[in-house]
Amino acid sequence: MDPNRVLIFDTTLRDGEQSPGASMNLAEKLQVAHALDELCVDIIEAGFPIASPGDFESVREIARQVQRPIICGLARCNAGDIDRVAEALRGHPHGRIHVFLATSAIHREFKLRMAKEEIIRRAVDGVKRAKDHGFEVEFSPEDAARTELDFLAEVVERTIEVGATTVNIPDTVGYAVPSQYANAISHLKKHVSNIEKAIISVHCHNDLGMAVANTLAALEQGARQVECTINGLGERAGNCALEEIVMALRTRQDYFALDTAIQTKKLYTTSRLVSHVTGIVVQRNKAIVGQNAFAHEAGIHQDGMLKERSTYEIMNPEDVGVPKTELVLGKHSGRHALKQRILDLSYHLTEAQLEKVYDGFKVLADRKKTIYNADIEALCENQIHLTELQAEAQSNTWTLEAVACNAGSATIPSAVVCLWHQDGSVVRDCSIGDGPIDAVFQAIERITGVNVVLQDYRLRSVTIGEDAQGEAHVEVEHEGRTLTGRAVSTDVIEASAMAFLQVINRVLRTKGLGRILPTETLEN
């Protein structure tokens, strides 16, 4: 391999999905996987197959549909986990099993209760078992950044000996600082006799805001694989952000002299796609992909920019795919223009889905003068969601028939909700609440008999303009699990009710329950 080439290992679908509230369904994960493929990441970590049947299914489906990059599945160091990854990856031309086991004193003593010898024995056995499946193997000593360097070197050497071709050095809790982390990598380079047989990978969490800095420091010492996520999603404060590390290497090629294969012009749309499907909004001032990343407010800066762009801009927005001016579509735009725009926005729809989006586009174009990218994104999202919801539809699914509410400064907020049950019955109920949305949610809870704790509720305008569509995002907690729902409508009350109902349906589905305690059956 070219010694200056850095492999990009994207873990948005695994570590990223571990962000609270970032869970994605199968259709959404497939969209992201296809977008990562187009972005030209080298490795996609598609999930943790043993974690749930849904995780297994998504790794299997991604491995089936996405053939160019290496597809990787995560496993703890035990036979069950490893065999499950192998099963999910079966048939992929270049699958990878990623086996991990904690090595730091704190994890050995309190979590695993294992001595160093046992850690080594298990790590070696795990790598061997993964290797026996015929896939390439990556080994991660979890919490490596807090592991004694000599022990870390020993674990790394022993796992390479039995076939690990990538050794990942995670800063699991985001504790490292750049010089210390760099020192750990150079220690491994010096003290692991077979280190040249493996690629050193780095996986930095961002708890102290140093994930990208630590990653760069490790690359300077010879690490050549970076584990990262779109928008920096990930456990707690997240992981090293893909767009940041890639653009740091590209913009400072003069300094690092390292390259990736990333098609940087796709960074912006991929970031938006991930933000949409997870419901996690990108902060305005986020580096590279935030709304303000290329906005110049101060007069002095604007003046400088007009005279010479490089005075205040170190990257071209076009290089990361930020549209200079958005070409709007309208009711006279044809199928072909719409299809092309959908592809440009990194969505991968079936012909049937495209047809449905086109129908939705025509309806929307009658109601709105101009259709922006965000409108098209919302239509695509809705369609992906609908496809998934149709797949989800089981005996316990409720559908919104109608919602009405009454609110104002001199009245008690109230709502009437009418729901269809999949058995054909229609149920109506009403409730008062602290506000109209609260009243709608309470009425839905009364009808379905499901009570959840609302953690977050957000409403945003999909585009600019008075006729813009509203997107409602609901996050709830139910029996220790976080579930999210999202819906778009020109009526924000309706969007909110649909998003909340999605969550309720998911709760019912996970319980395998149908309708509970309907209060009033109108039809049967």
Residues that bind Zn ion (CB under 5 A): 15
User: Among ligand KIV, Zn ion, none, what binds residue 142 when CB lies within 5 to 8 Å by partner kind?
Assistant: ligand KIV
Comparing C-alpha atoms, which of 477, 513, 488 is closest to residue 398? 513
**C-beta closer to ligand KIV: residue 225 or 275:** 225
Per CB under 6 A, does 45 bind ligand KIV? no
The H-or-E segment that residue 7 falls in is: strand 7-10
DSSP state for residue 259 in the 8-state scheme: B
Residue list 198-227, contact with ligand KIV (CB under 6 A): 203, 205
The H-or-E segment that residue 199 falls in is: strand 199-204
Helices vs strands, H then E, count in the chain: 17, 15
User: Using CA atoms, how far apart are residues 388 and 277, in angstroms rounded to an integer?
Assistant: 12
Which range binds ligand KIV by CB under 6 A, 168-176, 273-281, 346-354, 480-488? Answer: 168-176
Comparing C-alpha atoms, which of 17, 82, 19, 72 is closest to residue 46? 72
User: Among Zn ion, ligand KIV, none, what binds residue 100 when CB lies within 5 to 8 Å by partner kind?
Assistant: ligand KIV
- In the numeric block, the tokens 């959404």 are attached to 28
Cβ atoms of 159 and 139 closer than 8 Å: yes
**C-beta closer to ligand KIV: residue 45 or 375:** 45
User: Using CA atoms, how far apart are residues 249 and 258, in angstroms rounded to an integer?
Assistant: 6
User: How many residues sit close enough to ligand KIV to count as binding (CB under 6 A)?
Assistant: 9
**C-beta closer to ligand KIV: residue 36 or 338:** 36
Per CB under 6 A, does 174 bind ligand KIV? no
Nearest approach, Cβ of residue 423 and ligand KIV (Å): 43
State both tokens at 279: 């419901």
CA angle 369, 371, 376 (to 5 degrees): 155
Nearest approach, Cβ of residue 9 and Zn ion (Å): 11
Per CB under 6 A, does 170 bind ligand KIV? yes
Which range binds ligand KIV by CB under 6 A, 114-122, 164-172, 338-346, 395-403? Answer: 164-172
Phi, psi of 395 (to 5 degrees): -60, -20
User: Among ligand KIV, Zn ion, none, what binds residue 238 when CB lies within 5 to 8 Å by partner kind?
Assistant: none
**C-beta closer to ligand KIV: residue 108 or 205:** 205
**C-beta closer to Zn ion: residue 15 or 154:** 15
Per CB under 6 A, does 175 bind ligand KIV? no
CA angle 69, 206, 233 (to 5 degrees): 50
DSSP state for residue 409 in the 8-state scheme: T
Nearest approach, Cβ of residue 13 and Zn ion (Å): 13
**C-beta closer to ligand KIV: residue 122 or 301:** 122
Nearest approach, Cβ of residue 505 and ligand KIV (Å): 31
Per CB under 6 A, does 9 bind ligand KIV? no
Per CB under 6 A, does 398 bind ligand KIV? no
Strands in 87-190 per DSSP E: 95-102, 136-142, 166-171
Per CB under 6 A, does 10 bind ligand KIV? no
User: Using CA atoms, how far apart are residues 265 and 275, in angstroms rounded to an integer?
Assistant: 17
| 475, β-bridge pairs | 456, 484
Residue list 85-144, contact with ligand KIV (CB under 6 A): 100, 140, 142
- Binding residues for ligand KIV, rule: CB under 6 A, are 15, 100, 140, 142, 168, 170, 172, 203, 205
